[in-house]
Amino acid sequence: MSTRALGRRLADLARRQAAAAERHAAVAAVVDAGHAERVAFLMMVPEDLRMAVGIALRDPDGDDALHSWVSRPFASWASIPAGFQFPRALVEWLLARPHAWFLGHSCERCGLGVPLLSTWSNDPAPPPTIVVFPTCPACGGVTSHAANWYTEPPP
Ligand SMILES: [Zn+2]
């Protein structure tokens, strides 16, 4: 192989390595952003329940509804207060999940998402009510389906 051909091969290799490094950096940035979001979420879980929530979220046979909680713990109009901690009653209910549920209500005051029980028309044992938290376990505000869809924070 001539010196010139070797030079071209080395230059090509350097270009491919640079392109691979750019792709790797882009993937790492996405992974880091996802990791930072998960860590920020878990920091809102009371410390003694954090490990149980982390394990529940990693369980391949776990509750899919838990992931909806992670992806949208508050209504879109709400801003999460600095240093916010999820109320223990909410986290303990979600970990025990005594019944199938979905994130169907939000607090009309602070926007915290809370579960509703899932049921269906021929449910052999329908719950007397699907409302789990008629008032917000964080601030005491009324919870409703409508609060999920407010376009801005209530006055
Ligand atoms: Zn609230």
- pLDDT digits over 121-147, tens only? 898 888 899 999 999 999 999 999 999
**CA of 14 relative to ligand 1 center, distance in Å:** 56
* Domain region containing 99: 63-149
- Per residue in 56-111, pLDDT tens? 998 888 888 999 999 999 999 999 989 999 999 999 999 998 889 999 999 999 99
The percent of the chain in helix, strand and coil, each rounded to the nearest 5, is 50, 10, 40
How many domains is the chain partitioned into structurally?
1
Distance 88 CA to ligand 1 centre (A): 13
**Which residues have beta carbons under 5 A from ligand 1 (an ion)?**
107, 109-110, 112, 136, 138-139, 141
In a domain, 95, yes or no: yes
Secondary structure element (H or E) that encloses residue 58, with its range: helix 47-58
User: What is the pLDDT at residue 90?
Assistant: 97
96 inside domain: yes
Whether pLDDT at 2 is above 90? no
Q: Is residue 27 situated within a structural domain?
A: no
pTM: 0.78
